[in-house]
Amino acid sequence: MVSEEALKVVKCLSYRRIPKLRGIAGGMHAGLPKYVPVNLKDIAETGFQEGKEVSLETLKKKGLINPSRRERKLPLKV
């Protein structure tokens, strides 16, 4: 039979061998936004007419958002 102390030592050693999570729980990508948020109030204030298309390009032209690097590829959330 194996003593309790030997089991504790084995358990401690196996814990050290398991890889740990680093960064923001599960990876650095967990904290990044998945879309570009825009408020309806801001869209109304900039002078968009009813029935006009609202896209990243039109919002950028009006100066409402400034997408850079990763944000250029993200979808828009209104």
CA nearest to 54, candidates 39, 69, 68: 39
Reported as a single tens digit per residue, the pLDDT across 28-45 is 666 677 888 888 898 888
For all residues of the chain together, what is the average pLDDT? 77
On whether the CB atoms of residues 56 and 76 are closer than 8 A, the answer is yes
First-to-final CA distance of the chain: 65
- pTM, full prediction: 0.53
- State the DSSP H helix or E strand holding residue 4, giving kind and residue range, or none if neither: helix 4-17
Reported as a single tens digit per residue, the pLDDT across 2-17 is 677 776 776 666 666 7
Which residues share a beta bridge with 37? 77
Domain chopping of the chain, boundaries: 4-77
The CB density around residue 59, as the number of other CB atoms within 10 Å, is 21
Q: What percent of the chain has pLDDT over 70?
A: 67
pLDDT at 24: 58
d(CA 58, CA 64): 9
